[in-house]
């Protein structure tokens, strides 16, 4: 009995030590250096200020503890009788000012470095939406929407019965990442179309607010290929926690191949918008578009979250006149959570999503909305 209890305790101790060893392997007290020149500058500034603070702390607490020990009452020390010391007052005013000036010099240099967006080799415009990001490559003519990955979106739903631990990079993965070339200075133009968001990827060393009607600038130059994750760092609404950011850094050669692929897809999308789509084609594509763009608010089964996000099942809009439904999706509805998707999605995607919502969830209107109808609605 004693041996059994001892073995049990030893097993528990070994497991605890193994867990501690694993935890300590991933544990760190300091900041990470990141993968950009600016993040390295921030790390260096952090270390300079840290050691200045350490020296100040040692000096202040050392003097304090020494005074408490050397001048304690038990040694018979009598307290000095004086009202003030001009020298002390000058010192405790001048010395802190001098320290702040010394600290301000490297801090100012880093801040100036952070704002130097000139000489960028490419520009990417980032627009925040509830709850997704739009990326536009200004020189290459590539643009797309980046949303929470469908696997994470499915697992986060109440009653999904999906264990989030089984989903890789849960809530930190997207369907379409921002792809950038390494060793290339990239300028960002950051704004928002609805509320204030904040674009933040820790490995890049900074974050920038995305403000409606205002454009913030930032830049980066990623040194190492890899995948770097972040998320919106501003409380932007109900689904704020489901607005991740993924940046994939590729070599310039791989990036050029990726751009060529995206440009080819854009041409194919333009051609696709000119043809007539079958009902089945629209439903298949609409299912994917709905899962990526609509299910976050209206839920995968279309039941929604009334009153902010109404149910689409047997909805007066989804089963009503087609033109009114198209106008709502293309132009949105001011004063509500319904976004304008006309500038967010392609004509084909909008048409497919409309076809799907008008025929899913028991609606069965039989309507097949064509991309041409969307293009006509955009023109007014």
The model's pLDDT over 263-302, given as tens digits with 9 standing for 90+, comes to 999 999 989 999 999 999 999 999 999 988 888 788 888 9
Distance of CA 185 to the CA centre of its chain: 20
Neighbouring CB atoms inside 10 A of 147's CB total 23
pLDDT band at 8 (very low <50, low <70, confident <90, very high): very low
- pLDDT, residue 305, reads 81
- pTM for the full model? 0.80
349 burial via Cβ count (<10 Å: 0-12, 13-18, 19+): buried
Give the H or E element holding residue 63: helix 37-70
Least-confidence region, from 46-60, 109-123, 202-216, 335-349: 335-349
- Burial readout 197-206 (b: 16 or more C-beta within 10 A, e: otherwise): bbbbbbbbbb
pLDDT band at 61 (very low <50, low <70, confident <90, very high): very high
Residue 358: which of 350, 367, 349 has the closest Cα? Answer: 367
316 burial via Cβ count (<10 Å: 0-12, 13-18, 19+): exposed
Looking at the predicted structure, is the pLDDT value of residue 245 above 70? Answer: yes
Residue 347: how many CA atoms within 13 Å on its side-chain side?
Answer: 21
Q: What CA–CA distance (Å, rounded) separates 332 from 323?
A: 13
Give the H or E element holding residue 209: strand 206-210
pLDDT band at 84 (very low <50, low <70, confident <90, very high): confident
Asked whether 342 and 330 are in contact (CB, 8 A), the reply is yes
- pLDDT, residue 26, reads 53
Angle, alpha carbons 54-58-64 (nearest 5°): 145
- pLDDT, residue 337, reads 76
Phi, then psi, of 347 in degrees rounded to 5: -60, -35
Tokens representing 26 are 């991933």
How high does pLDDT run on average in the chain? 88
Three-class secondary structure of residue 82 per DSSP: coil
pLDDT band at 93 (very low <50, low <70, confident <90, very high): very high
Mean pLDDT of 318-346: 89
Tokens representing 306 are 């009334």
- Output the CA–CA distances (angstroms, integers) from residue 143 to 134, 137, 259, 292, in the order listed: 7, 6, 10, 16
- What DSSP letter does each residue of 296-359 carry, written as one string? HHH-TTS--BTTTB---TT-TTTTS-HHHHHHHHHH--TTSS----TTTS-HHHHHHHHHHHTT
């Amino acid at each position: 009995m004693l041996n059994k209890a001892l073995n049990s305790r030893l097993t528990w101790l070994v497991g605890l030590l193994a867990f501690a060893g694993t935890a300590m392997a991933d544990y760190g007290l300091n900041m990470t250096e990141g993968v950009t020149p600016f993040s390295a500058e921030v790390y260096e500034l952090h270390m300079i200020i840290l050691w200045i603070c350490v020296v100040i702390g040692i000096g202040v607490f050392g003097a304090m503890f020494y005074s408490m020990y050397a001048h304690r009452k038990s040694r018979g020390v009598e307290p000095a009788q004086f009202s003030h010391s001009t020298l002390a007052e000058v010192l405790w005013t001048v010395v802190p000012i001098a320290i702040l000036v010394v600290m301000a010099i490297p801090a100012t240099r880093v801040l100036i470095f952070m704002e130097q967006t000139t000489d960028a080799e490419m520009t990417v415009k980032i627009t925040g939406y509830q709850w997704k990001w739009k990326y536009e490559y200004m020189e290459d003519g590539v643009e797309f929407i980046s949303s929470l990955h469908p696997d994470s979106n499915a697992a986060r739903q109440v009653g999904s019965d999906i264990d989030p631990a089984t989903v890789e990079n849960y809530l930190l993965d997207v369907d379409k990442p921002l792809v950038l070339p390494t060793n290339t200075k990239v300028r960002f133009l950051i704004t928002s179309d609805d509320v204030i968001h904040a674009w933040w990827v820790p490995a890049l060393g900074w974050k920038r607010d995305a403000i409606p009607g205002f454009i913030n600038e930032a830049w980066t130059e990623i040194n190492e290929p890899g995948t770097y994750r972040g998320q919106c760092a501003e409380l932007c609404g109900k689904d704020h926690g489901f607005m991740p950011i993924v940046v994939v850094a590729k070599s310039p050669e791989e990036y050029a191949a990726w751009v060529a692929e995206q440009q080819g897809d854009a041409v194919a999308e333009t051609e696709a918008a000119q043809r007539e789509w079958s009902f089945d084609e629209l439903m298949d594509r609409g299912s994917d578009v709905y899962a990526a763009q609509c299910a976050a608010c209206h839920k995968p089964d279309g039941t929604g979250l009334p009153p902010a996000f109404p149910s689409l099942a047997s909805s007066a809009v989804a089963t009503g006149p087609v033109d009114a439904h198209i106008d709502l999706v293309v132009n949105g509805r001011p004063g509500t959570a319904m976004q304008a998707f006309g500038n967010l999605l392609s004509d084909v995607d909008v048409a497919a999503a409309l076809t799907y919502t008008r025929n899913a969830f028991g609606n069965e209107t039989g309507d097949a909305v064509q991309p041409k109808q969307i293009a006509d609605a955009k023109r007014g």
